């Protein structure tokens, strides 16, 4: 299956795509569609409308978003869907336009999980407007590229004081017995993270949020990353600190995520 791109429900034009190629001002969310449903769909819809208000001054609205999503997956109930918000009216010379953004849907085959285990480099870095899943990803790609050039799999971000926030395209959680500790820092609140929190009690997992410094790593039993494509992946090392993360605990985290049934679009 090749990627199919629609803009407001119609085939994307060259002009639409040129706007996207030249200006990276926008936001998006992406997820696996399973039998026409999406785990955490309500959280994805809320993310899109909050981002639209923040970046463009006007929400798209849940009914419209659902209709465009249904059009995008009508004949492919099992796929990967990215939903992006943009405006061809906005650019470097005219940044002040306000109104309802256009909606681009990209349907493609679902990607494989990132990995089954990751060794993470550490970089002092913070995304612009970290609460948004925005399209300005130059810094993320460059940071991940540098990590892999250095022999690591991916990269974990910290601030100038060593406070941990998030990774390149994922959230990180630390294991303290049966409790998951999420970092408290400027970061994107991930939908996979939220689903794990919702399903955690059924797997005997608690969740808390606190500031975590690099110097705290030794107090944890393990660590994992999560995003919509990778519900739970063990971290085997952060810089020079090695983890032996219990595979059963990773399985319980994945089960917590899976306990959230797909919501019909």
pLDDT value of position 89: 95
**pLDDT digits 0-9 by tens, 107-121:** 999 999 999 999 999
pTM for this entry? 0.95
CA angle 184, 48, 138 (to 5 degrees): 65
Tell me which residues of the chain have a pLDDT lower than 50: none
- Can you name the residues that pair with 225 across neighbouring β-strands? 172, 233
- CATH classification number, 4-108, choose in 3.10.510.20, 3.40.50.150, 3.30.470.10, 3.90.1150.10: 3.30.470.10
pLDDT value of position 101: 98
d(CA 168, CA 150): 15
pLDDT value of position 1: 61
pLDDT value of position 19: 87
What tokens were used for 180? 């998951």
Distance from first CA to last CA of the chain, Å, rounded? 21
**pLDDT digits 0-9 by tens, 37-88:** 999 999 999 999 999 999 999 999 999 999 999 999 998 999 999 999 999 9
Residue the block writes with tokens 């940044």: 95
Same fold, 4-108 and 117-264: no
Positive or negative: CA dihedral 86, 87, 88, 92: negative
Contact 56, 95 (CB under 8 A): no
- Is 117-264 in CATH node 1.10.10.60? no
3-state secondary structure of 165: strand
- Can you name the residues that pair with 134 across neighbouring β-strands? 27
The structural domains of the chain, with segments of one domain joined by +, span 4-108, 117-264
């Amino acid at each position: 299956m090749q990627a199919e791109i629609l803009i407001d429900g119609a085939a994307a034009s060259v002009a639409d795509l040129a706007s996207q190629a030249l200006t990276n001002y926008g936001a998006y969310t992406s997820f696996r569609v399973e039998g026409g449903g999406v785990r955490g769909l309500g959280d994805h819809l809320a993310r899109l409308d909050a981002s639209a208000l923040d970046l463009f001054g006007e929400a798209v609205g849940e009914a419209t978003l659902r209709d465009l999503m249904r059009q995008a997956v009508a004949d492919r109930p099992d796929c990967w869907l990215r939903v992006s918000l943009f405006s061809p009216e906005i650019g470097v010379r005219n940044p002040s336009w306000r109104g309802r953004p256009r909606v681009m849907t990209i349907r493609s085959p679902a990607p494989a999980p990132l990995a089954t285990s990751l060794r993470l480099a550490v970089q002092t870095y913070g995304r612009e407007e970290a609460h948004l899943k925005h399209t300005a990803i130059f810094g993320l790609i460059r940071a991940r590229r540098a990590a892999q050039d250095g022999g690591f799999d991916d990269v974990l971000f910290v601030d100038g004081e060593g406070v941990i926030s998030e990774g390149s395209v994922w959230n990180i959680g630390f294991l303290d017995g049966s409790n998951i500790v999420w970092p408290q820092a400027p970061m994107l609140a991930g939908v996979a993270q939220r689903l794990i929190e919702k399903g955690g009690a059924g797997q005997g997992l608690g969740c808390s949020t606190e500031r975590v410094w690099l110097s705290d790593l030794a107090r944890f039993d393990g660590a994992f990353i999560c995003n919509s494509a990778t519900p739970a992946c063990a971290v085997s090392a952060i810089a020079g600190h090695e983890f032996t993360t219990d595979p059963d605990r990773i399985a319980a985290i994945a089960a917590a995520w899976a306990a959230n049934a797909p919501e019909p679009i």
